[in-house]
Structure formats: C-alpha cells, structure tokens
A and B are shown apart, each in its own frame.
Chain A
Amino acid sequence: MKKLLGIFILGAIVLLTACGQTAPATTSVSSVSADTRQTGKAVGAGFRMATSPDFTCYGSGNADGFYSVVANDDGSKNILYTDYASANQVYLCNQPNCEHDSEKCTAWVAPFEGSVTPVATENNLFLIYSGTTQNAKIEQMGLNGENKKIIFTFSQQAVIENAVAANDQFLVFSVCSYQQDDDGGVEPQYNLVALELQTQKMTTLFSLAEHSDKNKAENKAMFFKGVTNTGFIVETMVQNAYETDETSVEKTFENMNNATTHTVYEIPFDGSAPQPLLTYANNQCNGMPYGDSFFYVKKKENGLLTLLRLKTDTQETTVLADDFAKQWLGEEKKEMTVDDVVFRNFVDGYLLMNVLTDEYVAKNEKTESMELVFTGVAVDPGSKEMKTIGLTSHYNATTVPADILAQAGDKLLVFASVLPQQDPGFRKGAVARKVALISKTDYLQSVPNFTMVNLLREYW
C-alpha cells in the first residue's frame, strides 16, 4: 500500500513540476524537471521567513526595504517599494514619467486571477503566483524589478501558502494541489516543497499523505508555520470519522474536536527524518515557532491557559506561565480559548502575542457594537517577564495592537495607524492603514515614536 502511495505521490510531483504555461514575452522560461526524492533533502542553514504565514500578505522585507504588490482596478498589479532609509514608498521603477501601466514598466504585473505574493531576499525579488483558475508560477527578478523570468510553472492550479522561507539557495513553501483518486473524487495534496534556485528543481520535503492514514482520515490539512534555528515547522490536521448526536449539537462538536488531531513536526534542514514535536486534539493548543523553540498555549483541564516553550533540539518543554492570564493580567480567565491568543512575532528576544482580553456591548442610537479588545503582550522566555504593548489602533469595533510588517536591524515596520476609510467609494468598515518605522526599543516600551512612511497607496 505504501509503495502504491509512493508511486501516486511521485506521479503528483511529476505533474506538479511539468512546465505547462507559455511565459510572457518579457520573460524566459527555464526548463523544470521532477526531482524524485520525496524527503531527506538537505537544504543548508540560514533560513528565515521572507513572508509571514498570515492569510493576508502585505509584503516582504529585506535589510533595505519592503516590497508590496497592490491591485489596480483593471486587474493588473503594481510592485511598490518602501525604502527604510528615506521612509518613502515608490513604484519599483526607474523610468521617468512612467505610468506604471504596461509591461514596459518594471513595477507592473500583468492581470492574474489569484494572489501574487512578493518574496524579498538580499539578492532577488520573487513573485509567487497562486490561484485556483490559472496555473501557479514563480517569477524571479532583480531587486530593482529588472531581468524578470519565470523560474517555475506548475502544471495545474495550485494554492501556495503565503508563508515562504528562504536562504541563498532555496525557497521553501507549502503547496496544495488537487489529485483525482480512484473513486472519481478529488483529494487535496499538501506538500512542503523546496525550490532550488540554481537548478530550478523542486523537491518535496514533507508530504501530508505520508503522515496520515488514508483509510481513516476523513479530512486532512497542513499548515507551514515557520522555521526554527534547525528546521521547518509544519502542523498537520487530520480528522477521523466521529459519531454525531442528533439530540445535541454541542455533543457533536465535542466529538468532532476529539476526532481531530493536530501534529506539529519539525523537518530538519539537514535532511534527517521529520520529528513529531507535539500532538493535540482540536481547540486544545495553538502555537508558533520562533528561534530555537515552538511556543504554544494549552487549555488545561481546569479551563485555564498555560503558556509553554518546547525547544525543538532537545524536545524539552518549559512552562513560561502556568496560568497565563493571571500571571500577566492578575486575574483568571477561564473563558479564554487557545484561539484568543494570536502569536504575532519574535522581537529582540521577546515573544509577541495579541490576546483577546475583553469583549463588551457598546450601544448608541442605532447600533450595538460588539467591541473586542486585543491586547499585546511581550514575553521574555528567559526571565519569563511579561509586559503589555500599549501601541494600538481602534477600528471596526476592535482594539488592535500595532501590527509588525517587517524587521530590519533595530527598526520595525508597523501599521502605526488604522482608521476608517474616508473615501465614500468604500463600504462601511473599510479601513486605511498607514505604516511607520519605529525602533524595537520604543515598540517594546510602548513609546509611540513613529517615523511615518510617505505612502503612495495606503494599505487596506
């Protein structure tokens, strides 16, 4: 059975790596071929997350600046570059008087039915085209937008997660493609893959199909969560069959949660076998990898949340806060769920999280706003010190800590201001986000010493 499965996966990889789309005239297509190795590929060290694993990607930064891809009304897109030194946002184009609306412009991206995610390294800029109606592809260019070329085209529609890890030689990301099965159904194939930039060959580092029982699993999914100092971290979710209780929806939900197993794996950079780090049922844990550890919250039997640190090299677990809410806020919060804790970043040795700390109804004449308050907290995993981040915005009945877009040296690029959109062409609830640079020290001390970026376009 495993052999058959292997052949099946191999076939999928061959399909994935076959070139199947004509490139634009301004590009050259490198030939691509299948790499039959499924796992065990050594990819070297020095990986960093070039883009976050967030669903909405606002861009990608390197040491000098931040690249964004923004949509135009005609379906095309533009590449914008925010220069940290000057705090200015410009089109990625050096031509004077350019309208940035054709392929003659280095900042112009032809219409594509899907998402286009920029990935910036210190040497190149890549665009990841992901879609369900057009074939996914990867484009490489210089940091000035010149010398564009398609370096990989998938033979079918594929959904590529925003999270992309990069070093000098590889781009690593998660791909979901769809495969016809023997029964006429279609199954998603989740793979963590490495694209070798020099050879333009793609290798599968981790396949969900190899880590789930096909005969038992009713549903399954995989998330690429990030990197540690030693490997890539993925989380799988496998849902087996469960009993339904026709008299109780809640009981059914409980059965569903218990039948859903999450497993966090580390896939070492050195090509050794993936290591399972943590297994839990639905709604029991939630976490993210940073540095040498996987940090997570866990719902205890007494209803309280505990904050833990799992070192991936030794698999040693340390309790950072047995009762997280009480140690931070001074009060127990049994109603707090694991999904109320949103892991956001790791800055200067501090783990940063946004936590839902309050919710209430605010009434006025016509509406009742269900207000939510998300509070930022910085945790030092060494000393276990916790401090509240006080830099926030309030919009759409939500108080939200200033979100970090990128780190560069001792600076952060953040959303310093999020306000309701003033343009009447937008619907109620639309927002305009302004970005700024701030020192890491000021951010962690909640000092609003922002250097606002001169934006050509506000972020939504």
Chain B
Amino acid sequence: MKKVGKKIGAAILAMVLIIAMAVPVSAIVEPGPNGFAIYIYGWAGHSGSSAILKGHGINNNITVGTNNGEAGNHVWYVVPNGNGYLIKDGTQSYCVNIHRVKQYGTYYPCTGYYYENSTGGRDQRVQLVQYNGYTVIRVQNPLVGGNWYMMADYSQPVASSDVIWYSDSTAMKAHWY
C-alpha cells in the first residue's frame, strides 16, 4: 500500500496550494484512506476551505460545491472492479457514468447512474496509473480518441474550473501521490 512520507506530504501540500492559488475554484482527486478507495474532493482556492464533488442521487450530474458538512452524502471513491476501476458513490450502489453521446465537442459529463451489470460497466470503467510522480485517472477503453475531459457540470463545459480531472500526456491537473 502506498504510504505518504512527511516530505512527500509537504510537497503535496505545496503543490496543492500552488494549484489552488492558480485556479480560484477547482477540484482534484485527493488520496483517501488507501490506494484504492480514493475520495474525490475539490477545494476552494483562495479561501483554502475544502469543496467536494456533489450530485448525490441517481441520474444527477456531479457538481462541485462547498463542503457544507454533508460530505457523507457526497463522497465518491474509486474501487477496483475486474481489470479496472469504478468511481462509485460512497453510500449507494451506483457509479459515475461517462456519457458516450457527443455534445458538440469532446466534453463529457460525469453522472451518477446505477452500474450497468449487463455491459460490465463499460461506460463507467477507469484506470489508475502512476505517471510522472502522480496517480492519474483515465477512461478505460474510450470510444472517442484524444484527451478525455470529465466535467463537474457540463452545462458550462468550456470553463476550466469545471474540470474534475483529465488524462493527458502533457499536463496532469488531477492527481495525487
């Protein structure tokens, strides 16, 4: 199991602060209690207060909101499944669904849906990979090539602050140690 040393922890903190100051409101994936169950938190940049990914409830889009003490209802985490992983709600048996339908571009919303047993969760599988010192999430077997952006709220898909994470060979905005 990956353990975070004090020096690395300090480096993470510094990194988080740097990114937080650069992006007023954003979201990252932070380490949870272990390498697999990873809570996905956002944070409010300048204030330093934490924000979380919200959207509790089936069929709801995930959004980024201020942590109002209801974190227990809005926790998403990564769990292993077969050869890959799923991003699952912390309290219900449904997972993040990644739409295949093109919405005038390459942005795709993250939505809470029940895991589709019949297809092995084809639209819900991701991979975790250690890359360039970070753990990165990428969509497993994407049907559309290129970079994959997963949006907190696709009603404003062009706002970089809405990006939860993406896998990209040149920049890793969503990561954790």
* Chain A residues in the interface with B (C-beta under 8 A): 52, 54-57, 113-115, 131-133, 162, 178, 181, 183, 185-188, 217-221, 223, 237, 242, 244, 246, 248-249, 252-253, 256, 262, 282-283, 286, 337-339, 342, 344, 354, 356, 359, 367-370, 372, 374, 397-398, 400-401, 403, 426-427, 429-430, 460
Q: Which A residues lie within 8 Å of B93 (CB)?
A: 55-57, 115, 162
Surface stretch bound by A, among B20-28, B33-41, B44-52: B33-41
Complex contact A186–B33 (CB within 8 A) = yes
How far is the CB of A417 from the nearest CB of chain B, in Å? 13
Q: Which of B118, B119, B141 has the most CB of A within 10 A?
A: B118
How far is the CB of B149 from the nearest CB of chain A, in Å? 16
B2 interfacial by beta-carbon distance below 8 Å: yes
B86 interfacial by beta-carbon distance below 8 Å: yes
Q: Which B residues lie within 8 Å of A133 (CB)?
A: 72, 90-91
Q: Which A residues lie within 8 Å of B84 (CB)?
A: 339
In the complex, A162→B37 CA distance in Å?
A: 17
Q: Which B residues lie within 8 Å of A185 (CB)?
A: 1, 3-4, 33-34
Complex contact B118–A344 (CB within 8 A) = yes
**A187-B34, A219-B2, A368-B102 are contacts. A400–B130 as well, Cβ < 8 Å?**
no
Q: Which B residues lie within 8 Å of A426 (CB)?
A: 59
Complex contact B131–A249 (CB within 8 A) = yes
In the complex, A356→B143 CA distance in Å?
A: 12
15 contacts between A and B (CB under 8 A): A56-B114, A188-B33, A188-B37, A219-B2, A246-B132, A253-B127, A256-B127, A283-B83, A342-B119, A372-B143, A374-B118, A374-B119, A397-B101, A400-B119, A460-B58
Q: Which B residues lie within 8 Å of A249 (CB)?
A: 129, 131, 167, 169
Closest-by-CB residue of B relative to A185 is B3
How far is the CB of A353 from the nearest CB of chain B, in Å? 10
Complex contact A218–B117 (CB within 8 A) = no
Complex contact B115–A339 (CB within 8 A) = no
How far is the CB of A61 from the nearest CB of chain B, in Å? 15
Q: When A and B form their complex, what is the total count of cross-chain residue pairs whose Cβ atoms lie within 8 Å?
A: 162
Q: Which of B58, B83, B114, B122 contacts A356 (CB 8 A)?
A: B122
Q: Beyond the given A55-B81, A370-B100, A398-B119, could you list 18 further A-B residue pairs with CB under 8 A, ordered by the A residue number?
A: A56-B116, A113-B73, A114-B92, A185-B34, A188-B33, A188-B36, A188-B37, A218-B2, A218-B35, A249-B167, A339-B82, A342-B119, A356-B119, A367-B102, A368-B102, A369-B101, A398-B116, A400-B118
Q: Which B residues lie within 8 Å of A430 (CB)?
A: 58-59
Closest-by-CB residue of A relative to B129 is A256
In the complex, A127→B59 CA distance in Å?
A: 25
In the complex, A218→B128 CA distance in Å?
A: 13
Interface of B, helix, strand, loop or mixed by DSSP:
loop
In the complex, A185→B103 CA distance in Å?
A: 41
**A283-B83, A429-B99 are contacts. A354–B118 as well, Cβ < 8 Å?**
yes
Complex contact B103–A367 (CB within 8 A) = yes
Complex contact A338–B132 (CB within 8 A) = no
Q: Which B residues lie within 8 Å of A342 (CB)?
A: 118-120
How far is the CB of A30 from the nearest CB of chain B, in Å? 26
Closest-by-CB residue of A relative to B95 is A55
In the complex, A113→B116 CA distance in Å?
A: 22
Q: Which A residues lie within 8 Å of B116 (CB)?
A: 56, 398, 400
Complex contact A252–B130 (CB within 8 A) = yes
Q: Which of B1, B83, B100, B111 contacts A427 (CB 8 A)?
A: B111
Q: Which of B80, B131, B141 contacts A337 (CB 8 A)?
A: B141
How far is the CB of B126 from the nearest CB of chain A, in Å? 12
How far is the CB of A245 from the nearest CB of chain B, in Å? 8
Complex contact B131–A252 (CB within 8 A) = yes
Q: Which A residues lie within 8 Å of B61 (CB)?
A: 427
Of all A-B residue pairs in the complex, the 9 with the closest CB atoms, nearest first, are A370-B100, A186-B33, A55-B115, A221-B80, A342-B120, A427-B59, A368-B102, A54-B117, A219-B35
B60 interfacial by beta-carbon distance below 8 Å: yes
Complex contact B101–A219 (CB within 8 A) = no
Closest-by-CB residue of B relative to A415 is B118
How far is the CB of B167 from the nearest CB of chain A, in Å? 7
Complex contact A186–B113 (CB within 8 A) = no
Complex contact B141–A114 (CB within 8 A) = no
**A249-B167, A370-B101, A429-B111 are contacts. A132–B83 as well, Cβ < 8 Å?**
no
B144 interfacial by beta-carbon distance below 8 Å: yes
B54 interfacial by beta-carbon distance below 8 Å: no
In the complex, A268→B128 CA distance in Å?
A: 33
Complex contact A218–B101 (CB within 8 A) = no
Complex contact B36–A52 (CB within 8 A) = no
Q: Which of B99, B115, B117 has the most CB of A within 10 A?
A: B117
